[in-house]
């Protein structure tokens, strides 16, 4: 049990069934369940700092739709570039079970299908634009 001191005489009665008598400046054992109550009245730990709040939970900030889409598109590029057979299903779409390793979140098959169609359309547009740029450059050069 941690030791606490208080700057005054005081009898701490808690709702947890404990009564702790503080004598000004004298260390007193406080049960761990009553530490928050002791700190609340101004008692100071003799051993040093006491973690009254406990461990903080890690807050997970969800991705926006745009960030999520960007991560999935990046995963598609990686999967397409490395050409591992298991990355794709028999129908040629990315395997939804392989995406979490690249995106750090689950992607449903329905979501994957919608993103895949959009990804393929944008890739085709980029390819068409590149071909057009090359044709225009050739025409300009003679």
Please check whether residues 71 and 119 belong to one and the same domain: yes
SS3 21: strand
* Least confident window among 28-32, 52-56, 94-98, 128-132: 52-56
Please check whether residues 79 and 39 belong to one and the same domain: no
Please check whether residues 37 and 89 belong to one and the same domain: no
Q: What is the pLDDT of residues 72-81, one digit of tens each?
A: 999 999 999 9
pLDDT of residue 115: 95
Please check whether residues 137 and 73 belong to one and the same domain: yes
The whole-chain average pLDDT of the chain stands at 90
Please check whether residues 78 and 106 belong to one and the same domain: yes
H/E segment holding residue 44: strand 44-45
- Asked whether residue 58 is domain-assigned, the answer is no
Confidence bin at 117 (pLDDT 50/70/90) = very high
pLDDT of residue 52: 66
Q: In total, how many domains does the chain have?
A: 2
Residue range(s) defining the domain that contains residue 22: 3-45
* C-alpha to C-alpha distance for 38 and 46, rounded to whole angstroms: 12
pLDDT of residue 119: 95
Mean pLDDT of 55-59: 80
Please check whether residues 78 and 41 belong to one and the same domain: no
Res 56 pLDDT > 90: no
pTM of the model: 0.56
Please check whether residues 69 and 36 belong to one and the same domain: no
H/E segment holding residue 19: strand 19-22
Please check whether residues 118 and 85 belong to one and the same domain: yes
- Asked whether residue 135 is domain-assigned, the answer is yes
Q: Which residues contact 115 (CB under 8 A, 6 or more apart)?
A: 69, 72, 73, 76, 107
- Asked whether residue 55 is domain-assigned, the answer is no
Please check whether residues 40 and 73 belong to one and the same domain: no
DSSP code for 32: G
DSSP code for 88: B
DSSP code for 13: E
The distance from CA 11 to its chain's CA centroid, rounded to whole angstroms, is 44
Mean pLDDT of 69-93: 92
Mean pLDDT of 83-101: 92
């Amino acid at each position: 049990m941690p030791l606490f001191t208080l700057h005054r005489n005081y009898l701490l009665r808690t709702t947890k069934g404990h009564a702790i008598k503080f004598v000004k400046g004298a260390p007193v054992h406080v049960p761990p369940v009553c530490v928050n109550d002791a700190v609340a009245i101004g008692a100071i730990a003799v051993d040093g700092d006491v973690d009254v709040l406990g461990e903080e939970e890690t807050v997970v900030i969800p991705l926006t739709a745009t960030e999520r889409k960007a991560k999935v598109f990046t995963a598609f590029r990686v999967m397409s570039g490395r050409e591992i057979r298991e990355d794709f299903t028999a129908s040629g779409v990315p395997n939804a079970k392989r995406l979490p390793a690249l995106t750090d979140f689950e992607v449903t098959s329905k979501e994957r299908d919608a993103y895949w169609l959009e990804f393929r359309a944008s890739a085709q547009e980029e390819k068409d634009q590149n071909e057009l740029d090359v044709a225009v450059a050739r025409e300009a050069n003679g």
